[in-house]
A and B are shown apart, each in its own frame.
Chain A
């Protein structure tokens, strides 16, 4: 079965390299290669006594990446269990086959490249350790892929209600944020890659599966072959365990989740815009993927601002609202993509493009503005000092306005083809593929759009000029309103002129 599925996946991959998907894949390759390059550079540039520590950290990041990556929309177009529903296969055959197919892709390739740093490390320690490195490297990559799939499959199993969609976002938000911020904290403790990793951290990292290849190589260099054998057996055992778990999860196809509508209370939207707003707000409360991504943004940002409390830094707290909105734009920017071919209903309603865009913008603002304002107020009170106020107040109207503009702009100009709602499940890991490009674009675009206000805030802070810092607030207000209107206008024009083309891209 593996022999059939691997070439099949290869064909799927080759045929899917068109349009937005090709761009996403290319950016994936670039990002992956950059990550692999970083890993190699850290290991090679670190002094002989520090290379092990650097490897432990980078391998742990790769493990984290493989676990959280798919939930962030980083999964690739591929074979799904549903594609093989009618092929008579045992669960084990299916799991092994799908694992084989999962090996074909950008992720495994760049991980393998990054993993060559293990061979480099072995070479440096002792020639006898090289065969061990060559053995544990492919095992490690296999383990990462198997674990990643187990996570995606179990999330699909667990995610079946609004509450679980929200709860599932909690560990993910924390993990991703630790991946981004934790690195900084470790660097703060250790003083960067130039210093050796403190023993207490290194010991913990050696215990995690990501540390095992390093342990095996170091053991081989010492001639501790019993430990080498134990680690290799451990890796093989873990792969087998992950495969067994995966097979178990594949055994029963996930039942579609039934979300009920609310009782009819005589909804009478006053205008077309109000109708779209009502439709969007209802969709936000009933679409598990939307709920998941929104709560994810919230948890990520809360972790981001609360983590520095560990070292008694409260400066980030007043910025929580701004960060939340900034992050929410990217994770919500797939509105038209996730609606899929339902766009025909808008296209056939004469002149409804304006209502569609404006209604979506308003619904999103109604959704994110209240928590953003609340976060800002609570954060500012908690922080106590007024030094961050010009930043928080000065950026919030901008990110809200520009965010609502960017949201629909991205949604219309950067369509991502996903399965139509009635043909897909509720698993962001399996169905959110390709949204990561949107997230990154939205983050960068917002930084650019906020440049005028940021410039005032930065120069105001550098020159210690209160007036200059507070000047950012009116600028932000004006800019926010203009961008809300202007970017929305661009989206309306695009939808009016190229609506059928957008539909074709989504269908």
Chain B
């Protein structure tokens, strides 16, 4: 009956005095490629962490395919694959070891784990670093192995926080094609990003966050209204270019 991959209602988080996320409502239709954009500190990471069960909200609910993340975490977490931004991983395992470990931790059969790990490492071009620990991975490799671990459980929804940050163009192309194929195959993706052209290229639905609020959301063409996403974004978050008088000492 439900067709929403992710539904956030009244989700709120305070850090001391600061309201990081202020009662946001957000609906991600199943099968959509959803982009969450916003300036630094807008609350994107906080909102996504609450949505997948990593950060307990002060108020509000998060549902993945109709299952409440905080009431029925076990059922909800089976449906989602997550790529968090800047968190550690099981650093002292190699990529293959970590995926094997995570596959078994997720309760997948050993044979399934072995074949999926093989395939993921090959597709993401990580199979040449067989003896390198995650700790020694470059920033781009870290993103790719994190994506592999998000895909491993065969989720219906992917929640990706800044998946393209520090990723080289070749790897970015690989990741993009994997995500596109995932959506074509019936999966849903939520990703956060700073890079507007990328969101325009990939996503069919967007939401703009600013200072803990969702200031615009909907199909990308509706939100854009015939302009570029960049222009709309800057107008919405009210950023201005530096005045000529400012920083006059710079390179003078």
| Segment among A222-230, A255-263, A477-485 that sits at the interface with chain B | A255-263
Q: Which of A263, A341, A349, A504 has the most CB of B within 10 A?
A: A349
Those of A215-270 within 8 Å (CB) of chain B: 256, 258-264, 267-270
Bound: A354/B113 CA distance, A: 20
Check if B74 sits within 8 Å of A351, measured CB to CB: yes
Determine if A350 is an interface residue (Cβ-Cβ < 8 Å): yes
Bound: A283/B133 CA distance, A: 10
Query: C-beta contact mask, A336-375 vs B, less than 8 Å → 1, else 0?
Result: 0001111011111111100110000000000000000000
Query: C-beta contact mask, B76-113 vs A, less than 8 Å → 1, else 0?
Result: 01101010100111111110110011101111001001
Bound: A287/B101 CA distance, A: 18
Determine if B130 is an interface residue (Cβ-Cβ < 8 Å): yes
| Segment among B18-26, B51-59, B196-204 that sits at the interface with chain A | B51-59
Bound: A355/B106 CA distance, A: 10
Check if A347 sits within 8 Å of B53, measured CB to CB: yes
Check if A503 sits within 8 Å of B90, measured CB to CB: no
Bound: A501/B100 CA distance, A: 27
Q: Number of residue pairs across A and B with beta carbons under 8 Å? A: 126
Determine if B232 is an interface residue (Cβ-Cβ < 8 Å): no
Given A264-B130, A269-B110, A504-B55, A342 and B89 touching (CB < 8 A)? yes
Determine if B192 is an interface residue (Cβ-Cβ < 8 Å): no
Chain B interface size, under 10 / 10 to 19 / 20 to 34 / 35 or more: 35 or more
Check if B133 sits within 8 Å of A268, measured CB to CB: no
Shortest CB-to-CB span from A343 to chain B, Å, is: 8
Check if A260 sits within 8 Å of B133, measured CB to CB: yes
Check if B131 sits within 8 Å of A345, measured CB to CB: no
The residue from B52, B78, B104 contacting A269, defined by CB atoms under 8 A apart: B104
Give the chain B neighbours of A268 by CB distance below 8 A. 100, 110, 113-114
Check if B106 sits within 8 Å of A261, measured CB to CB: no
Those of B170-219 within 8 Å (CB) of chain A: none
Give the chain B neighbours of A306 by CB distance below 8 A. none
Shortest CB-to-CB span from A210 to chain B, Å, is: 39
Bound: A364/B233 CA distance, A: 52
Shortest CB-to-CB span from B79 to chain A, Å, is: 10
Determine if B135 is an interface residue (Cβ-Cβ < 8 Å): yes
The residue from B93, B110, B114, B132 contacting A270, defined by CB atoms under 8 A apart: B110
Determine if B73 is an interface residue (Cβ-Cβ < 8 Å): yes
Given A269-B101, A287-B92, A500-B53, A261 and B107 touching (CB < 8 A)? no
Determine if A272 is an interface residue (Cβ-Cβ < 8 Å): yes
Those of B63-77 within 8 Å (CB) of chain A: 73-75, 77
Query: C-beta contact mask, A273-294 vs B, less than 8 Å → 1, else 0?
Result: 0111011001100110000000
Bound: A350/B78 CA distance, A: 6
Bound: A270/B107 CA distance, A: 10
Give the chain A neighbours of B102 by CB distance below 8 A. 345, 349
Give the chain B neighbours of A507 by CB distance below 8 A. 87
Bound: A275/B98 CA distance, A: 10
Determine if A14 is an interface residue (Cβ-Cβ < 8 Å): no
Determine if A90 is an interface residue (Cβ-Cβ < 8 Å): no
Give the chain B neighbours of A258 by CB distance below 8 A. 136
Determine if A420 is an interface residue (Cβ-Cβ < 8 Å): yes
Bound: A288/B91 CA distance, A: 13
Bound: A448/B65 CA distance, A: 49
Give the chain A neighbours of B105 by CB distance below 8 A. 272, 275-276, 345-346, 349, 352, 355-356
Shortest CB-to-CB span from A255 to chain B, Å, is: 12
Bound: A263/B78 CA distance, A: 31
Q: Besides the contacts A272-B105, A356-B105, what 16 more A-B pairs have beta carbons closer than 8 Å?
A: A264-B94, A264-B96, A268-B113, A275-B104, A279-B97, A282-B93, A283-B90, A339-B88, A339-B90, A341-B87, A345-B149, A348-B82, A349-B77, A500-B54, A503-B54, A503-B55
Smallest CB-CB A-B distances: 6 pairs: A275-B104, A261-B94, A420-B88, A421-B91, A341-B87, A342-B88
